[in-house]
Amino acid sequence: MNKQTKQRFSKSRLRRNRQVFGFLIMVVTLVFFCVFVYRFCVISGGYVDAHNLRKSRLTQETRTSVLQAQRGSIVDANGNTIATASKTYSIYAVLQPLYSGDKEKLVKDKEKTATMLAKYLPMAKDKILVYLNPTSSKTKQVEFGSAGSGLSLAIKQQISRLKLPGIHFTSESSRLYEDNVFASHIIGQTTVEGSGTSAKIVGTMGLEKYFNKLLAGKNGHTSSQVDNYGYQLSTSKAKTVPAKNGGTVYTTLNSNLQNYLESLMSKVQSEYKPTEMTATLMNAKTGAIIAASQRPTFSLQTGDGVSDMWRNALVQDAYEPGSVMKIMTLSAAINSGHYNPNEYYQSGSIKVGGTTLYDWNRNGWGTIPLSQAFTRSSNVGMVKLEQEMGGATWHHYLKKFGFGQKTGVTLPDESSGTLSFSNATTQATTAYGQGIDVTVMQMLQAMSAVANNGVMLRPRIISKTVSANGTVTKYGKQTEGRIIKTSTAKAVRKAMVKVVQSSIGTGSAYKMNGVDVGVKTGTAQIAGSNGYLTGASNYIFSVAGMVPSKNPKYLLYITLKQPQNYTKAPEEMMAEIFKPLITRALALDAASDDAANATTDSTTTKMVSVTNKSTTTAQSTLSNAGYHVATVGTGNKVVQQLPVAGQTTLNGSRVILLTNGAMTMPDVSGWSKSDVLKLAQITGKKFKLKGSGYASAQSINAGALIPDTGGTITFTAQ
């Protein structure tokens, strides 16, 4: 092949190669184009790899904010607030700019800032300066520990008025309790679950727990479409599901008597140091719990002390009741026709099932009639009654009285106690309150049959609940049927009067001049790991009283366990609660009756509610109504008042207002003793009026802060 032919062949092959290569490029390009078109169609449809792009886009552009429901309130029998929704505040200081141009919000004068904050925070100036001068120069902001958290609105406002540069606050949902200690285990406790806008308050104890769903309400939310800068898109509308606030729980507690009971309990606790103590005042006609408390107790607001006693002793603690059970033993014996008061028996001891059972006075009182068994609190006499009845009859009555069963009171974690008839000995000992475990509520329920002429009442702590939408659920008087005859109930109450009035009775410490009182005392051994404990103080002492005994309105039951400072007889210790509380209850009844009888001459009126109103509005309202107004505290809002709303009062009487500010002393010049008692009740402090007549001098000047520490504040009268 010549040179010219080779050149033509080479050019022809080169041209063919170019055509093939060009074709391949065109095919590849076409394939990529087809893939692109397919992918574009898929994406246009809103899906990539099974992922919904439209939904994702909406999610990224949707902002949802929680609308927090306000927790409902718990109130007393007169509608006065016990627990309500609130906010607490935490303080922090900004030391370094959080971003450029933020220098105006920094702490400028640390010395001045520490000096001013020390006046309102429970922290010394030098400690505050430690926080304001952190070891790291890079620290931008600091908090002040527990001393700087949980601050009230009043404290926050007082600090804010100082306008201290660099001092700021955050707020948290919280619970505000009007009294620090007020039936604490009954009202209960809450905790905050979650944080930020998702935080919610949850009840963990007492009524706060039992009615948590009603009180909590339901959070709402707002959803809207926003752009990258957070602004709502003009093409969308916000969707709002409103929050449903919590409902209200109305208790049967009387704040006046409850606060008084708390002060009496604290005094006895401080003086005699029992390991545990309970006291409950019940309306014998309705079953309503008017006042109830226990020791140890805790602060509703701070929770201090709850670790010492987290159980609600009124419903959760099951214990052997001792001789107060003899009320039910005597009732069953009389009602079943097995009581012969003129029958004689040998006191001191009795042998049952191979075991010797003793009277508290082991020597006994010789041969005595059964009519003295209850008065002397003879265990042997009660065993004789149980034997006369027979085990089946006695067991039948124990079940009728509700032992071994929950009462159904609206408090969480109620115990049913235990009722065991395992042998003849335990069967016999139940007749005097040993070998049977009960709760305070069970005892109140059983004793109500005697107080209420044979018809047993279920104890109740709630009168009604009202949901946010207005639905009312009533918890009215609930009878558990007729347990004993009216004649039986009256006979047992007469026997209870003998316990107080007779020279052989065990309840002379409860005698009250001019008051018809019937009681039954009790002394129960405490079970240990190896039998019952020994020692003079290792008992649960108790008393149950019905006043007035002929037609009881009040049923008061007190238990006192293991007093460590055994300087008086246990009956005298408990009488320091029993007699003053009954006296106060009867006095309130008398005042209400007198006021009701005096309404015709227009000298009385119903006290208006000014609680939760501004201080100035409350003062103006009451002054215009003709009352003398005394204000305790520097706050701008009234958190408590005495007399309480709805109480019948004399025109021109004194009304004391407690505000949300620092507690300050009013001018008590010209005050009567009853006015001073009101001041003591509303502040929770110890006051003493020396002399007779009206107050003329006071140990703390008007306007001065009332100290938080103990001690008695005295007033001089002339």
Query: 604 and 624 in contact (C-beta within 8 Å)?
Result: no
d(CA 714, CA 194): 47
Query: 370 and 334 in contact (C-beta within 8 Å)?
Result: no
d(CA 510, CA 558): 12
Any residues with CB less than 8 A from the CB of 360 and at least 6 apart, and which? 323, 377, 379, 523
Alpha helices (H) in 45-109, listed in sequence order: 53-61
Q: Which element (helix H / strand E) includes 85?
A: strand 81-94
What Å distances lie between residue 55 and 42, 48, 61, 62, 520, CA to CA? 15, 12, 10, 10, 74
Query: 642 and 678 in contact (C-beta within 8 Å)?
Result: yes
d(CA 100, CA 526): 70
Query: 521 and 499 in contact (C-beta within 8 Å)?
Result: yes
| C-alpha of 675 from chain center | 28
Looking at residue 197, the DSSP 8-state letter turns out to be G
Residue 399 structure tokens: 């079940």
Strand, helix or coil for residue 312:
coil
| C-alpha of 460 from chain center | 15
- State the pTM of this model: 0.72
Strand, helix or coil for residue 154:
helix
Per-residue pLDDT reduced to its tens digit, 276-301: 999 999 999 999 999 999 999 999 98
Per-residue pLDDT reduced to its tens digit, 248-270: 999 999 988 999 999 999 999 99
Instruction: Enumerate residue ranges in the chain where pLDDT < 50.
Output: 46, 48, 50, 53, 56-60, 229, 599-602
d(CA 70, CA 83): 12
| Annotated catalytic residue, options 73, 184, 293, 323 | 323
What are the residues facing 277 on neighbouring strands? 295, 560
**Residue 323 annotated as catalytic:** yes
Alpha helices (H) in 140-277, listed in sequence order: 153-160, 184-187, 206-210, 212-216, 255-272
